[in-house]
Amino acid sequence: MVAHRRTLTFLFAATLFISAALLFWVEPMVAKMLLPLLGGTPAVWNTCLLFFQTVLLAGYAYALFASRRLTLRQQIVAQVLLLAVATVSFPVWVSPATAANVPREGNPALWLLGRLFLVVGLPFFVLSTLSPLLQRWFTATRHESARDPYFLYAASNAGSLFALVGYPLAIEPLLALRRQSWLWAASYGALALLVALCGAVALVANSRAARAAIGGEEAERHEPQPIDEGALTKRRRAMWVLLAFVPSSLMLGVTTYVSTDIASLPLLWVVPLSLYLLTLIVAFARRRIVRRRWVEFVMPGVTLVFLLAYLSGATQPTWFLVLLHLLFFFVAALMCHGRLADDRPATRHLAEFYLWMSVGGALGGLFNALVAPVVFKHIVEYPLAVLIACALIPRRAPDEARDPQRERWLDLGYAAALGVLAIAFALVVARVGWWTTESLALVVGVPLILAYLLRRRPVRFALALGAVMLGSAFYRSLDTRALLTERNFFGTLRVTQDAGSDVHWLYHGTTIHGRQSTQLSKQCEPLSYYHRTGPLASVFAAFDSRPGSPEVAVVGLGTGATAAYARAGQRWTFYEINPAVVRVAETPDYFTYLSYCASAMPVQIVLGDARLRLADAHANAYGLIVLDAFSSDAIPLHLMTLEALDLYLSKLAPGGVVLFHVSNRSLDLHPVVADLALSRGLAALSSDDDIRNPDKEPSHWVAVARAAEDLAPLAGDAQWKPLAGDPARRVWTDDYSNIVGIFKWY
């Protein structure tokens, strides 16, 4: 009997494990298929997550309907039929027709959601119904653990985590996308058999229990017992939604931060999602792995350190900042999911419980992916979710004797006082002109420490932190005047001017994308990465001195600073995916490189992803191709693969040069380009300009050509060095990349 029960538990746990693994295996796989079509922006992944969360919600809604309206036999038959019907979507693949229909203008989020529905919508929906239904079927077996089947939710999340970790470490490096798709389809078929077996076992066990009850035999021993007989009030359901909303929103906020400032690829996107699933596993495990009191005790302190780094605007060291963001997210998600697990209802409400959790998760995705980019010009949703998480910390010693109205006024009063204190410090700093890290510690650090003293009252603590955030924003506004702030699917753009300065700056996220002097005599002087004493100047000098095609292609527009190197008789084409960048570069009030410096030369701007739009260009057209595409500090890595290089070479004129701008705070991209060049027998030179100058930023460039003589003018320049690839390293392709190997760990 014991062996039978263990086998039964293993069968259901294994089936849930595999179904969840398939569910979360397909997420990064499909995202990677769609990534090159939309420029590698982090919003691609956030929109994908929104889709998956929404379909998951639909799956849970169906599970609730089926568990309430269908008999056990009807549920099993319907599920097997759904599993069979979903196979019409196989193999999961993005067709060439889909790639050709990518919208060139506007927000492509709705287009992406539609493509996801067509490519993977039906099988993902069917898989999403399995977790609540299988747990419900398990209760019908009258197994001794049926009284609390929520431990199977931990098994399900373990399968999800296994797939997410296994995808970048094993599946992605070993299998091409097409083979991944077919292997996934074969695994889906095996899962369908396991689901049918679980249904048959549950049906037989339920029938035996029913016959035993009719025959007067003892059948009550293993009847499911309620975990919590508390009423399912609107307030309780709303709290389930809120506790699920916050981790979901935080996960997308962390994902945006990591993928914006490091790289846009599934390997990094799955890290926050993996931590999210890990907190669910820990929270819903049979045995309590982490004490809730410990999490509640640690949360305020972790928040304090996290906000000090976040509000300071620090960008280095990258590894420390990423770990700090992930640590806060893990603690906050564990706190919220722990509260959900503690408040789980009786098994008869299991499907509804999961439905409301899914509602919260979907709302978090909807808020971050669609609502926030329209409503907020800045990344407000991330700190807002941080504040809500702090407000949800359970109170340690509630005092019912206190006057609620008086306490609410005190909550607001303390917050206002700390906000005023932060603003006062900011005004003092501005008056003395003390714009240093120490001054920021005064403006932000002291109020944060005072806010920490309010941690025993979570709402008061959260409001106080919010007031300090507003004070820090006021501090930044004193030193820098914002001329424009615009946000869209591709990120946040800011055009600023420092106090007392005649220079306009362009920021994408936290990274400088260029600057220009407003003085008429200096407007055509390229600054920042494009300075005339930097590597780019020597490349254009060599290009101007050699015969060949006069056409230049630049991938990434920015301020348009590269146009300052244009000469009469040349034809320039800029490829830019973000329409907001085009508007900024073409507006003389912000930058005049295009309207003034390049006015005597034909300049064409092609809107859309460079991989797709370059394919339309004439073969062997360009004498120089400059790859200068950034998304904040993250370079879209689909522009640095073997397939991308082959495209560039097909558009490169004889004797031409492909120039990669590889400046990055977090990644050393030199070996990636070197290996690409080696794989195609190309010559490569690199120049690392780390000389600091008030008018420029350090920059790193790699020039690639078909033959060494094509780079001869650069080879004679001392700042350009030969760059050799390693034949032992695997070359990056659309199917393979290795971020860990090029990460700057110092």
pLDDT at 403: 73
Identify the pLDDT of residue 632. 52
Task: Indicate if the pLDDT at residue 39 is higher than 80.
Answer: no
Token digits for 307?
Answer: 């906000």
What pLDDT, on the 0 to 100 scale, is given for residue 221? 40
pLDDT band at 9 (very low <50, low <70, confident <90, very high): confident
Q: Please indicate, yes or no, whether residues 367 and 424 belong to a single structural domain of this protein.
A: no
* pLDDT confidence band for 245 (50 / 70 / 90): very high
Q: Which two tokens stand for residue 741?
A: 């190997």
Could you count the other beta carbons within 10 Å of the beta carbon of residue 618?
9
pLDDT tops 80 at residue 344: yes
Percent of the chain whose pLDDT exceeds 90: 35
Q: Identify whether residues 410 and 385 lie together within a single domain.
A: no
Task: For residues 507-532, give the mean pLDDT.
Answer: 87
CA distance 602 to 495: 26
Is there a single domain that holds both residue 606 and residue 639?
A: yes
The most distant pair of C-alpha atoms in the chain lies apart, rounded to whole Å, by: 100
Domain with residue 327: its CATH number is 1.20.1250.20
Please indicate whether residue 471 or residue 234 has the higher confidence score (pLDDT): 234
| Whole-number Cα distances in Å, 635 to 40, 252, 673 | 8, 20, 13
Vertex 613 angle, CA 609 and 614, to 5°: 115
Q: Is residue 496 part of a domain?
A: no
Reported confidence tier of residue 17, pLDDT bands at 50, 70, 90: very high
Rg of the chain (C-alpha set): 29
Q: What confidence score (pLDDT) does residue 211 get?
A: 59
Domain that holds residue 470: 404-482
Whole-angstrom Cα distance, residue 597 to residue 187?
A: 59
CA distance 526 to 556: 15
Residues 192 and 84 reside in one and the same domain: yes
pLDDT score for 60: 87
Read off the pLDDT of each residue in 82-89 and give the average, rounded to a whole number.
91
Question: How many residues belong to the chain?
Answer: 746
pLDDT tens per residue across span 620-648: 999 999 999 865 555 677 788 999 999 99
Q: Determine, yes or no, domain membership for 493.
A: no
pLDDT at 210: 59
Angle between helices 130-140 and 42-69 (to 10 degrees): 30
Residues 537 and 680 in one domain: yes
Beta bridge partners of 622: 652
CA trace torsion 451, 452, 457, 463 (10° rounding): 30
> 578, 386, 586: which is closest to 488 by C-alpha?
578
- Whether residues 199 and 145 fall in one domain: yes
Would residue 396 count as lying in a domain? no
pLDDT confidence bin for 400, thresholds 50/70/90: low
Place of tokens 């977790």: 131
Does 266 score more than 80 pLDDT? Answer: no
Q: Which residue has the tokens 């460079």?
A: 610
Domain assignment present for residue 665? The answer is yes
Residue 635 has what pLDDT?
A: 63
For the chain, the domain total comes to 3
Q: How far apart are CA 520 and CA 498, in angstroms?
A: 18
Query: What number is the average pLDDT over the span 109-118?
Result: 84
Average pLDDT score, the chain: 84
One domain for residues 465 and 361 = no
The neighbouring-strand residues paired with 548 are: none
Question: Given this model, what pLDDT does residue 219 score?
Answer: 42
Residue for token pair 């960008």: 315
Q: Kindly indicate the confidence band of residue 166, based on its pLDDT and cuts at 50, 70 and 90.
A: confident
pLDDT: is 108 or 179 the higher one? 179
- 470 and 520 fall within a common domain: no
CB 631 within 8 A of CB 490: yes
* Residue with more model confidence, 543 or 664: 543
In a domain, 494, yes or no: no
Closest by Cα among 643, 660, 598 to 735: 643
pTM: 0.73
Give the span between the Cα atoms of 350 and 346, in whole angstroms. 7
Task: Label residue 106 by pLDDT band (50, 70, 90).
Answer: low
284 and 188 part of one domain = yes
The SS3 assignment for 572 reads strand
pLDDT at 48 over 90: no
Q: Is the peptide bond before 91 cis (omega within 30 degrees of 0)?
A: yes
Do residues 115 and 204 share a domain? Answer: yes
pLDDT above 60 for 152: yes
CATH of the domain at 724: 3.40.50.150
pLDDT tier at 702, thresholds 50, 70, 90: very high
Residue 175 has a CB neighbour count (10 Å cut-off) of 17
Q: Between residues 317 and 425, which one has the greater pLDDT?
A: 425
Closest by CA to 366, choosing from 252, 492, 236, 487, is 252
Output the pLDDT for position 225.
Answer: 41
Virtual torsion, Cα 358, 363, 365, 371, nearest 10 deg: 170
Q: Are residues 408 and 384 in the same domain?
A: no
**Model confidence band, residue 146 (pLDDT cutoffs 50, 70, 90):** low
Supply the pLDDT for residue 664: 81
Q: What is the mean pLDDT of residues 391-411?
A: 76
* Tokens standing for residue 14: 């294994």
Judge contact between 686 and 701, C-beta under 8 A.
yes
- Picking from 358, 391, 424, the residue at the C-terminal end of a domain is 391
List the one residue out of 227, 207, 210 whose CA is nearest residue 147: 227
pLDDT of residue 597: 87
CB 40 within 8 A of CB 335: no
Query: What local confidence, expressed as pLDDT, does residue 224 receive?
Result: 40
User: H or E segment at 480?
Assistant: strand 480-488
Evaluate whether residue 229 is within a structural domain: no
Does residue 693 register a pLDDT over 60?
yes
pLDDT of residue 633: 54
Residue 23 pLDDT greater than 80, yes or no = yes
Asked if the structure places residue 398 within a domain, the reply is no
**What percentage of the chain exceeds 70 in pLDDT?**
87
More reliable by pLDDT, 540 or 231: 540
pLDDT tens per residue, range 179-227 = 889 999 999 999 999 999 999 988 888 776 655 555 544 443 443 444 4
- Does residue 221 sit within a domain? no
Query: Within this chain, do residues 536 and 471 fall inside the same structural domain, yes or no?
Result: no
Order of all β-strands in the sheet with 652-661? 603-607, 571-576, 551-555, 622-627, 652-661, 699-705, 683-689, 721-722
